[in-house]
Amino acid sequence: MTDGRADDASNEGLVEAGAKSSERVIDTPLGAEDARLAAEDAHLAAKDGRLAAEDARLVAEDERLAAEDARLAVDDERLAAKDARLAAKDGRLAAEDARLAAEDGRLAAEDAHLAAEDEHLAAEDARLAAEDARLAVDDERLSDKDARLACQR
């Protein structure tokens, strides 16, 4: 398949050859050759028209695709900005999570300290209860002794 330019060059060669042969042979019927060349010109003009229409369609398609590319680029920029906002939000949430984890650790340490203090106080309470029981026994013994002494007098 040849393009329009190759056909044009070929036709120009035919026209030149026809002109030279008509100069050499004067009695050649020029009307039939002119009709053939006119038909060839019409065919080439129609082909040029089809190619021009195809070129216009391709240019329009290129423009449509360029507009679509521009729209997609805007969408990409919008999505990139949204991704950046979400990443910043994720960073803030991660920092808040870290702060809360540190607070949880501090509270757990405080709870452990208070539990140890509670155990110490419970041990002290048990020691004091034992001391109270011992003193109660001593008081009872002394009361018994006082009662015996009072009876002896």
- What's the burial of 53, exposed, middle or buried (CB within 10 Å: 0-12/13-18/19+)? exposed
CA pair distance 30, 149, nearest whole angstrom: 171
Q: Which two tokens stand for residue 18?
A: 């026809």
Q: Which two tokens stand for residue 59?
A: 């240019």
**What are the φ and ψ backbone dihedral angles of 26, each rounded to 5 degrees?**
-75, -25
pLDDT of residue 30: 83
Q: What is the pTM of this model?
A: 0.46
CA pair distance 85, 143, nearest whole angstrom: 83
What does the pLDDT look like over 1-15, one tens digit per residue? 455 555 555 555 555
Long-range contacts of 4-12 (CB under 8 A, 24+ apart): 4/44, 4/47, 4/48, 4/51, 7/44, 7/47, 8/44, 11/37, 11/40, 11/41, 11/44
Looking at this protein, which amino acid is placed at residue 22?
S
What does the pLDDT look like over 63-85, one tens digit per residue? 999 999 999 999 999 999 999 99
What does the pLDDT look like over 101-150, one tens digit per residue? 999 999 999 999 999 999 999 999 999 999 999 999 999 999 998 888 88
Domain locations in the chain as residue ranges: 4-114
